[in-house]
Homo-oligomer: A and B are copies of this chain.
């Protein structure tokens, strides 16, 4: 006899979180920008925003779950540090389309050049008339 057991796995939210979600929020992007300059405690980060400290704590939790920051306990303070390499996946994703937009921008420049040369030719014709 063969028995099949079906299991529904409940995936907690933070498992579904990724770097794209992390940088989707402007406050989290600002936190990243702050930590890019220096390590900061939770309170020092919170001073830069109008939202409550617990709200900042939540953002930090998300950033930590995505690996974008690490937190070191120093006495009663929590020192937050950026882990920039974990931004790389997002960078690579966008970077794969770089060729696409550069190509488009090239053709835009080509279009501009073309336009310019045609205008010059027009000018020539006019002056020749």
In angstroms, how far is the closest chain B Cβ from the Cβ of A43? 24
Q: Which of A21-56 contact B (CB under 8 A)?
A: 21, 23-24, 26, 29, 32, 36
Do residues B94 and A94 form an inter-chain contact, with CB atoms below 8 A? yes
Q: How many residues of A contact B (CB 8 A)?
A: 25
Q: How far is the CA of A101 from the CA of B92 in the complex (A)?
A: 13
Q: How far is the CA of A97 from the CA of B69 in the complex (A)?
A: 13
In angstroms, how far is the closest chain B Cβ from the Cβ of A39? 13
Query: This chain: how many copies in the complex?
Result: 2
Contact check: which of B85, B90, B91 meets A104 at CB < 8 Å? B85
| Residues of chain B contacted by A95 (CB below 8 angstroms) | 91
Q: Which of A51-106 contact B (CB under 8 A)?
A: 82, 84-85, 87-88, 90-91, 93-98, 100-101, 104-105
Do residues B105 and A85 form an inter-chain contact, with CB atoms below 8 A? yes
Q: How far is the CA of A85 from the CA of B90 in the complex (A)?
A: 17
In angstroms, how far is the closest chain B Cβ from the Cβ of A99? 9
Binding site for B on A (CB under 8 A): 20-21, 23-24, 26, 29, 32, 36, 82, 84-85, 87-88, 90-91, 93-98, 100-101, 104-105
